[in-house]
Every structure is written in structure tokens, then in C-alpha cells.
Structure 1
Amino acid sequence: MRYEPIPSDLFIHNRDKFRRHLKPGGLAVFNANDIMPTNADGTMGFKQQSDLFYLCGIDQEETILLIFPDAKEAKHREILFLRETNEHIAIWEGHKLTKEEARQLSGIQTVYWTHQFANIFNGLVFEAEYLYLNTNEHLRNSSEVQTRDDRFIRYCKEKYPLHKYERLQPIMHRLRAVKSVWEVEQIQKAIDITAKGFRRLLGFVRPGVWEYEVEAELIHEFIRNRSNGFAYTPIIASGVNACVLHYIENNRQCHAGDVLLLDVAAQYANYNADLTRVLPVSGKFTQRQKAIYNAVYRVMLEAKAMLVTGNNWIDYHKEVGKVMESELIGLGLLDKHEVARQDPDNPLYKKYFMHGTSHHLGLDVHDYGSRYHVFEPGMVFTCEPGIYIPEEGIGIRLENDILITENGNIDLMAHIPILAEEIEDLMNSR
């Protein structure tokens, strides 16, 4: 791993919270992600299953975590299973965690090799009343790929058909929505690396630069600061490409007069930042571009002020929509009389602002959290309004990451330039 070790206190704390949600006799199992194949003998880079990492901090393939608070033997109340290494693996793949290293990272004292799991699990499962199993219940998930957790669910139900089965995801969605101090520290590190990458671009972007060259500048800065790389596939969209919400080709040349939308961020220690900024390729916004930019910025300020304890997702987005309506009327994009007659279930502002304003952020970019839970201290949200006008070739989105506290909120990206005039000054001072 590139990142500095995280204190095991984080994972001990997370497991302590998790145990309280299990029914008496509950046994929970978490599996690492697979290493996904490409073609021939190729593979994708390994990305740890985020629930497992949240609970033990182990960033290695073929890891299994077992939590069983009511196990008869104390040593079996939390168990970590690791891939056993050998000389061949060490030569071809490099170092794998030793048992002692895993104990130090996770705070779990009982560590076995993964190939021992079946026998040990079979010896514990009949002490359990409930088996808690994991699967991906994220609303945005549309994957058709079978995971190790999917295979394990099938294995358990075939081998232990009379046990009672429970879902882990409702617990994880509740726990992971609220971040601890240690988690916020990792998110802030990802944000600070992202800030360095963005500032690097202020002296680089100019007419004639290609979008992929901008991407190259960012990945250089991210990796040299211990990041694993991009938190998500970067969106580097100039001209009308900025109106495509998930544009990822990054293959167009930037021209004078364009705006360049950058939805880019770093990952650090599996925690993610999420930033969006817009640069004038020529170093100065046109009057129209600046008017739209400032309108989006005003919406962002009002939306950010609503990210407070006690508010809720549904009311929040309704209120942001009203603010956006007012700005779009001011820009001449909507007519106030038509807005007054609009279908409330299909508001007119969605023609120019068609996505949500905020999502949870953490170990996953679109992190866990229910839209029906009120906002609580420790939640981290993005705040990302935008206006997209394809017929004018202008797309403006601004995004910061916001921590909710008991006394308002903290903008974790407050140190990253965002004012239009500041952006222009920095681009023209290098």
C-alpha cells in the first residue's frame, strides 16, 4: 500500500459499533473482492470490498472477516483469514501480510490462513442462530458480475439450509453513513491531494491543451502524494462535452473560449474525495460564462447552508430546486410564469439541472446512507449543483465536500480556489 498505516483504533471502534447491531447468536461473514480478469492472463487492479476494509483495514485479496460475539471460545469472537504466502508468490507478486502484520493493522488477534476457513467456519456455524451475509444493496448498483459474497451466500444456503439468514447491508448503511474522526482524517488527506492536483492545472490549462494531457497532470500529482490514483474515472470535459454528465473519453482539444469542467479527485487509503471545478481555457470567463458560473456558485452556497443536523434528503433537494429555479429565471433560461404553472412532479429546472445536489462520500464515492434518515453529525456529503446548456456549449458544475457537525457544517474543500475571479487571477499569474 502507498498510504501511511491507519491507526487500528479506527477498525476496533467500527467493530465495536457493528457488534451492537447483531441479534443474539448472530455470526457475520465478510469476503474480500475478487481480482477481476480481463483477457488472456490479464487482471484489473485489486480494490478491496469496502465493508471488509471498514471493519478490519486489511487491503489484500482473499481475506475473510468473521465476527461472532457469542462464540463459546473468546478467541473466535472475531477472526481474520489471510491468504497464505510462499516463495513462489513472493517472487511473482511480492510481499503478502504476515499474521502479525495483520494483527497490528486490524487489532484482531485471531488470524488464520484463508484455506483454513471452511473447517473453522463449519465448527462455529452450529453455535450460531443467525448467519449475517453480505451483498451489494446500493441503489445505483447494476452489476451483473458474481462476487465472492454472492458465491458464499449460495454455499451457505446449500450447506446450512436450516439456519436463519440476515442481511448485513442495513447495518452497514446505517454505520458507514456517519464518519468517525479517523475516517474524516483520511477523507481530508484525499481532499488535500486533490487540491494539489487542481492547483497544478491552474498554470497548465490553456488553448491547445488536450483533455488527456490534463488527466496526465492530475495522475502524476496524485500518485506522487501517496494516492492510489483517481477516486473515480475522471471527467475532463471541454466545450459542449461539459454538458455530458458522465463524459470520460477525455480526448478533445481545448479551444480558446471554452470552459473546461473538471470532475476529478484522488483516493487515499481507500477513502475518496469528490471535486468539481470549471476553468476558462483562455484564462478569463466570458460575461455569459461568468454569469452562469456565479449563479451555480450562489446555489451551492445556499445548498451548503442546508446541510445541517436535522434536515432531510427529500426536503433538502426540494429547497435546492427552488433556489435553482430562481437562478435560471434570472439567466433567462426559464420563464417565471411557466414555472408558476409547472407540474410539481416534473419541475422545469430539471432541463438544465437534471441530477441530485448531494450524495454521501467515504469509502465509496457514492457512499452508503439512506435518503430517509435525517442528517446527523459525522455525515459527509458532496454539494454539487450545476447548469448545463448544450445549445450554448456551456456546462458549469461546482462541487465541494461537506462535513456535518453538531454546530453547522465544515467545508472540507474551503482551501481549494472556487471564486471565478480567483480562478482567473491564479491562471494568469503563472
Structure 2
Amino acid sequence: MRRVVITGAGTVNPLGQNLDQTLAAMKAGRCAIGPLDIPDLDRLSIKIGAQVTDWTPENHFEKGHLSLLDRHVQFALVSARQAMAQAGLSPDPERTAAIMGTGGGGLITSDEAYRAVYAEGKSRVHPFTVPRLMHSAAASHISMEMGLMGPTFSVSSACASSNHAIGLAVQMLRAGAADVALAGGSEAMLSFGGLKAWEGLRVMSPDACRPFSMGRNGMVQGEGAAVFVLEDREAALARGARVLAEICGVGMTSDASDIVMPNPEGASRALQRALSDAGWTAESVDHINAHGTATTANDRCEAEALRRVFGPRAAEIPVTSTKSLHGHLIGAAGAVELIGCLLALQDGLIPPTAGFLAPDPDCAVDLVTGTARQGRFDRVLSSGFAFGGLNAVLALARA
């Protein structure tokens, strides 16, 4: 069976508009969460988030092309360009896939259309509203811009979307359905309508994201994208490519229990399946990049899942949640968090978890806080646990 490696990475997110900026921010533990700047902010109860600031679409796209692109697609396209440039690859178009994850698709486009029709009383919306808002738009535009004619589609499984997308890409490459894949996730939900909907769930924090900490009071929304070039390890080495990491295992499960409340049984099965797929033991894992949303239910459920899989070692394996730095990117969360895994594997640095106040006895994990933790980390797990009980875990190893 083919071994799948990452040879290119690109990103636009609140920490930076490329890979180097993002890695530097993660090393420094810089938090990008702050006051939001969006229309009708005064009507929102939650006024903080992690925005991509100083984003000028005209620097990346021609004016005519922009009329087709929702904000989340802009992030995805720029990220894909960066990833392909780093990979230095000219793949066979018919053997290259584009698989993207998103939870909300073109939510800003939807918000603008509803505002025009309902609030402003207009009788028509932009003619490209449907192709802008559809969940498959990012994958389609990546495919069209780069001439990719292999399997192309989007995955939507809420907060596990990009982990599912990357996991499916790995499985397709292993099976020979494609030779190369661009895979990742993209999201842009920071609009009045999007945030008002999340407010209704009462899971949003008004002040900070504090995963696994006493005093935490909810998640904080972010936006952005990350895209990776995946290819067969032998082919990558043969062409002299720099390998960033190997994706050794994928675990996917469903809780099949509740639409919003997580279940440690489903999460633990996903973790175990990723280990089994990689051929690893629980004792061999050096670091876990947690889902870590900073909601009471998720953090305690995730800590329990880790205890079930790793036993007493669950309190000894270094854990971080970079959502405390860049916010919860929903469908793009796992993709941007994968960059934190690359930092640990390549540079021996685990990004710190911001906002920590005090240990929660119900979350007995070795949480990395304050500053980045240095060491040698050869095998890491990256978790994505979503509403609807949809779980996807990736196992990555040092190249």
C-alpha cells in the first residue's frame, strides 16, 4: 500500500497569510482573537473573534474573477497556490484530486443575499449567488485554476470537515484512485447571520478561548483556510521533494447518539482507529493536537476519550489546542491545526495553549501553556470531533 506524505502547505488564517507567518505566530504563542469588525456588530452579544485582517482580495484576484468568489473560496485558492508552489510539482491533471472541507460554505454570500432581499427590500440578488455559496465552490475553483481533472469534491461534516477531507485524500492515494491530491479546508462564517446563529447555541465565549482550563466559558469563532499537497512517498523522494510529514493513519467514526452533545465512546474509537491504521501503539504517541474547543462538554469528553485510549499515559502526553490562538475555524479547523503538527514534527516545538487559568480536574491532560514546549516529537495525532457526533483523527509522523 502506498505511503502518503505532505510536500506542500499553504494557509490564510488569523495568525498569518502564509505558512511562515503562521508557524512564527504559533511558535510565539500569539493570540489572534480580538474585537470583531463586521456590520451590525452592535446587535450581537458576542463581539470577539479571530479575523483575517488586512486581507485585500484585489491583491490576489482580478476584479472580474472576484465576483465569483466568496471569502472562504478566496482563502482556499490562495492557500492552494502556496501549497503547490512549495511542493514544486507539475502533476498529471487527470491523476490529481482536489478535496476540500467546509462546514458552512459561502455563508457570507448567503448573509449578503438575505440582507439584500429581506432588510433592504431588493427584488433580486447577485446572479452568481448560488455558485458563490455552494459548499463545493472551493474545490471547484482550485480544480479550474490549476487544471486538475481528477476526483474533485467537498466534504461537509461540521468541525471535522477538513480532517475528513484530508483523510479521504489519503485513502484515495493509497488505493490508487489518484497520484496527487490537494486537500484541506476553508471557512468564513464571521458575518452577522452566522454569528447570530451560533449565539443561539449558547456555546460562545464573550472574552477568550481557554481549552481544558478552569474558568473556560465557550468557543471563539475564527476564519481561514489551509491546503496541503499529498503524494506518494516514493514518487516524492524520487523527484527530490522536501517531505514535511507522513500521514500514517486515519480514523473516522460516528457517535450515533446526539446532534450536539459529544460522546467519548465515538471519539475514543476514532483515536484507536487512527492508531490501528498507522500500525502504532498507544505508547508510541509523542503529542496530541486536540480538538479542544473550550466548551465544558467537549473538553471533558475529549479528555475522557484520551483516558480510554491511553490509560494513565493520557496525563503525560503533551496536548495543545491551537484554537486558543486562531479561533475555531469550523470546517477549516483541522487543516490549520495540522500546521501546528508540522511545527512539532519538524522543529520540535509544540504551540502553547493560550488563555489557561488553572487545571480542570475533569480534564487530566498535560496541557502545553505559556510558551512553546521543545522536544523531539516523532508521532502526533490531530483530532476533529464535530456536532452530529462526526469524528476524524489523523496520525502523522516525522518524515
TM-score greater than 0.5 by the shorter chain:
no
Q: How does the TM-score come out when normalised to structure 1? A: 0.24
Larger relative contact order, structure 1 or 2 (CA cutoff 8 Å, min sep 6) = 2
Q: How does the TM-score come out when normalised to structure 2? A: 0.25
